Structure 1
């Protein structure tokens, strides 16, 4: 059982079973691809992953969740083509994560009131969200289709539809947020209607030219919201539709208790430092309560995710959460998962896959301190690697170089 052997994903073949999971990059300040963003993803391609995922690509300007996110449009095409070409040149595939923020958006950013299935107040931002109309639902579905077309034209190998973390599609799945009385509310079959219609539109748009993945919440950790029993039904409905090549299973939300997704240390002090001055004391006092406090364990999503394996007939599954070494990859394959997605471990070591291929006993250097979470307010990076933050130091001139025996020993 070799996690580094080639693997099929719909119409494409990946050189191995490792996907770089979507992690906010903060490297497109004007909403367009930069050389910095290309270098970020090229590093994972050079480092051996089968596919890297560009996050977070908005299907519309009002669907943004943070400043500087790429909107999938004709204006973004030239840069996106440079990005996909650079990753392909390094031998990897590349996916675009497509999303609409919904309740995670903020009027100060988008200029419009955020939308939700029903009227809702985001507890983390205290932003009011109005109920989306049926005409606007149809427009969101169209936006996902148009964004997928941009991805195809840009040379992406796959798209990942963000159906998790209580972004707009995911919030329709939540009985806590979705209190609609029409065909998009009520039973889980009705609440699953939007994600099914988005997936169908995207598949119709791309046909078999690229792979289509959905990122789906198994549960979001909020009482009365998404839980595994209903998530299984949503997954079964999507599987029966045969519109997806794979589902990446996830947990947690971007609305409350975000540490349910990440697990491990809670960087309260670091978050307080990047907050407006008037909010810092409150974050220090209540930050751990608001963010949640969940211990890290290897493969921490596996217990929930393995319940989805026997109910899938047409759709492959991608395991996420606490995957840091070759043994974890092999465990995922034995459990019935086709691909495995890694986030923080690769952020710490972009070349971790190559290291694991060279030495099966390689251990990740990620400490799960989660301070990388705070870096999304600037350029996402591992705080333990200064080169990711500051860049590779400029080479010194030959005249000033240290030619001592000690320096030669260090070089070797």
Structure 2
């Protein structure tokens, strides 16, 4: 076991916010806001992680505008969402954790059937996953999107969030500007990596101007997206260095993969082709069964699978703390990340399987996650995200049904 340089369970500063420990619940699709507003179910979801011991929980994909949505039911950061967001942040705070809002604009991942408008990209682009046409964003629209991120950050402050996470990954609109595969612009937002980094830098600066030192600012940045000719580590290191020199961010969460093609590069492990086929329209089921593994990609799971790429960023930044993501499931992994120079550790599927895992690891360093990386949780995003191996999440709490003259019988309540 690697000797830890830092105690992962000790209090730590993230910008102006003190977290009770270094473990972050990473943003994962939730499916618990079907009308685009906070529900009791969404509150219970995040309170579970707070009670389970995380230092910070992240509300996944809050749209900076209605046309920024990537899926139905996502929360748009607006005045109408404020009352519910305040209930959510108050509940998480009462349970001992801090809470962050992930702010994003889908760009090429959006679809006109959902938003009512043609998706935008740095340059004209056809999304190979949806076959949707994306038009080139104009200079005035670039400025408008930058302002939308700033406005969304103000909503986060008004709602009581402790941090915002700017989604600069997975080939959503900001990330797609970093990709030479998608960004073929001839102006000062295209060309070399310094120009292609301009958009994310301006978003970060606008958000920092809005929030000042009232809340923390995190960015989720692609190290590489797994697509030939697109984002790779040599250039993402430059983007990280530019953001670091701007001193607009408190932390960078390092990620990989895309939501455009080969999405399993982000997740690794089993490819749930059959499960995806079951929830697709009939015409898509056979093609998905035949071509699914090729389209989604096949990448074996291994513990700490992003570490080899992420350690390249440790000497590249000086003002910005780093968050390690990917295959973190036990105390040894937390200690390894700390010893490698990472300030925070983000966990997703392991906490989806066991919301109380952090408390369990703190009490017993030998505890191991029950997540099997079967990735069937990916399919549940079409309804209500949950671990398929957790009976309470899948079926609801077990209660006793009393039948007159008979002993009590335990039955699951289906949701």
Report the TM-score range of the alignment, normalised by the length of the smaller protein. Answer: over 0.9
Contact 1:27 1:34 in 2 (8 A): yes
In structure 1, distance between residues paired with 2:290 and 2:91: 45
CA gap 1:13/1:295 in 2 versus in 1, 3 angstroms: same
Could you say which residue in structure 1 is the equivalent of 2:3? Answer: none
Pairs within 5 Å for 1:11-410: 11-397=16-402
Question: What is the Cα deviation at residue 80 of structure 1?
Answer: 0.1
Residue ranges of structure 1 left out of the alignment (5+ in a row): 408-412
SS at match of 1:321: coil
Separation of aligned partners in 2, 1:301 and 1:55: 20
Residue 6 of structure 2 is aligned to residue 7 of structure 1: no
Q: 1:397, CA displacement in angstroms? A: 4.9
Instruction: Give 1:392 shift.
Output: 1.0
Alignment partners' CA distance in 2, 1:290 and 1:74? 39
Deviations 1:354-383 (A, max 9, x none): 110111100000000000000000000000
User: Structure 1 residues 394 and 204, CA, compared in 2 at 3 Å: closer, same or farther?
Assistant: same
Deviations 1:137-189 (A, max 9, x none): 00000000000000000000000000000000000000000000001000100
User: In structure 2, the residue corresponding to 1:142 is in which secondary structure?
Assistant: helix
Runs of 4+ aligned structure 1 residues displaced above 2 Å come to 393-404
Q: CA deviation at 1:40?
A: 0.4
TM-score (norm 2): 0.96
**Cα deviation digits, residues 206-264 of structure 1 (max 9, x gap):** 00000000000000000000000000000000000000000000000000000000000
CA distance in 2, matches of 1:289, 1:366: 24
Aligned to 1:410: none
Separation (CA, whole Å) in 2 of partners of 1:74 and 1:135: 24
Q: Distance in 2 between matches of 1:394 and 1:140?
A: 48
User: For 1:33-63, what per-residue CA distance to the aligned partner results, in whole angstroms no more than 9, with x for missing partners?
Assistant: 0000000000000100001000010000000
Q: 1:394 offset after TM fit, Å?
A: 3.0
Residues in 1 aligned to 2:405 and 2:283: alpha-carbon distance in whole angstroms: 48
Q: Deviations over 1:289-333 (max 9, x none)?
A: 000000000000000000000011100000000000000000000
Q: Distance in 2 between matches of 1:65 and 1:395?
A: 40
Stretches of structure 2 lacking an aligned partner (at least 5 in a row): 1-5, 411-415
CA contact (8 A) 1:47 1:353 kept: yes
Are residues 352 and 400 of structure 1, via their aligned partners in 2, closer, same or farther at CA, if it must alter by over 3 Å?
farther
In structure 2, the CA distance between the partners of 1:106 and 1:399, relative to structure 1 (3 Å rule), is same
- In the alignment, the residues of structure 2 paired with residue 176 and residue 91 of structure 1 have an alpha-carbon distance, to the nearest angstrom, of 43
Q: Does the 8 A contact of 2:89 with 2:159 survive in 1?
A: yes
SS at match of 2:399: coil
Deviation digits for residues 85-119 of structure 1 (CA, Å, limit 9, x no counterpart): 00000000000000000000000000000000000
The two structures, once aligned, show a CA RMSD in angstroms of 1.4
Task: Tell me, in whole angstroms, the C-alpha distance in 1 between the residues paired with 2:273 and 2:396.
Answer: 26
Aligned length: 405
How far apart in 2 are the matches of 1:2 and 1:273? 44
